[in-house]
Amino acid sequence: MVGSSVLPRLRAAWQLPTAATALADYALCMVGPTGPSLLRDDPTEFWSLVRRRLVSAGPDDHPFAKCAKAAVELTGSPTIGRAHEAPAVGFTEYGSDDASGGLAFRLGDLTVSTRKLAELADAAWPFARGGYTNLVKASAFAPEAAHPIEPPRPAIGRTPLPPRSVSTCRSAGAPGEFALGVSADHRFKVVRTVTPDGVVTESAFAPAEARVFAVGCDASRAVIAFGRAGSRKVALALCAYRGDCSALKLPRAGAEGDTVRFPLDVARVDGTTVIAMNAHGIVRVASSRDDGKSWTPFVVAFDAVAHRDVTFDVSPPDRLFSLGRRLALGATGPRPSSTYPLLVSDDAGASWHAP
């Protein structure tokens, strides 16, 4: 009888250090150097970092795949292992609109906890005293993720941003303006460029029934975002000053995903086309310096969950405003006194910060 009660406790005491190291290695793999102590002492902050890593990943990235084996060993759950192997775009928290063909997972499907360690520590008494907390230390050669970078912290915008028009656009220093209208036969949407001496050039860019929802321009070109009423599909046109319009290829939401969809906004800064896409409170920005032949990876400019301590009347900031060579990312509210998140970029959307 004594042996039957002692042996399980000895076995638990033998397993406890190995399990504690496995948990620390897993946490290190998920969020980097602070992972082991956070998963042990502050799970809420640990999973906040996991979410941060998820939303900042590329849509086709598998940010937690290297941690999947450890997750299965710690939980005994193949389902949790499959969640760790999934692409970022497959998680609801990523903000995707089914770009992967089915949003299979939520952040909670990744859950690994210290419960097994607590149970082992209880079962190992009195052969292992002091619990498990001091045992949660990573092994020497465990894979380590980079610490997830916090999204830019926005300022609180209080001054109304400059009005935006979807019928005209003029850039500072430009010789003339771009004016949108309808062709004389009412078949097409057209861009007219008007020189200071009154010369008018006209170029069609979309059917007359198209809905234009964003226009941005610099001195040489205008970029126009348009679609059909009732549809979230977006097309872009790039129209040269006193020249023709051509289709501008949109970036895709992952290698196998569809192109980005409405709501989005556009801007032009010194020959660079910038788009800002709002996906359920996460605003991601990408840019093209070669008129759509290639696009930068999307960067997270704003995440509504990341800074819950900062409150606004209007959120998220999903409107781009060109202020010379500086871009502003903000929002317009129903009242002049409405507050909104405000971020600026001095490198055509590659990085963002509070003004």
Give residue-wise pLDDT tens across range 141-190: 888 999 999 999 999 999 888 888 888 888 877 778 899 999 999 999 99
- The total of other beta-carbon atoms located within 10 Å of residue 232's CB is 13
- What are the two backbone dihedrals, phi and then psi, of residue 99, each rounded to the nearest 5 degrees? -65, -20
Q: Is residue 144 part of a domain?
A: no
Q: Is residue 163 part of a domain?
A: yes
How does 40-78 read in b/e, with b if 16+ C-beta sit within 10 Å?
beeeeebbbbbbbbbbbbebbbebbeebbebbbebbeee
C-alpha to C-alpha distance for 162 and 327, rounded to whole angstroms: 12
85 and 26 together in one domain = yes
Task: State the residue range of the domain holding 287.
Answer: 155-345
226 and 128 together in one domain = no
208 and 327 together in one domain = yes
116 and 190 together in one domain = no
170 and 103 together in one domain = no
pLDDT at 127: 61
| Residue numbers in the chain where pLDDT is lower than 50 | 1-3, 99-101
pLDDT at 256: 55
227 and 297 together in one domain = yes
Q: Is residue 149 part of a domain?
A: no
- β-partners of residue 286 are 275
The closest alpha carbon to 135, from 7, 26, 22, belongs to: 22
Which of the listed residues 73, 103, 135 is the one where a domain comes to its end?
135
Q: Is residue 47 part of a domain?
A: yes
C-alpha to C-alpha distance for 51 and 31, rounded to whole angstroms: 10
C-alpha to C-alpha distance for 153 and 289, rounded to whole angstroms: 26
114 and 196 together in one domain = no
192 and 119 together in one domain = no
282 and 159 together in one domain = yes
Number of domains observed in the structure of the chain: 2
256 and 315 together in one domain = yes
Q: Is residue 352 part of a domain?
A: no
Q: Is residue 150 part of a domain?
A: no
pLDDT at 267: 95
127 and 160 together in one domain = no
188 and 333 together in one domain = yes
C-alpha to C-alpha distance for 355 and 347, rounded to whole angstroms: 13
pLDDT at 258: 58
pLDDT at 128: 63
Model pLDDT for residues 3-36, shown as the tens digit of each residue:
457 787 677 667 778 888 999 999 999 999 999 9
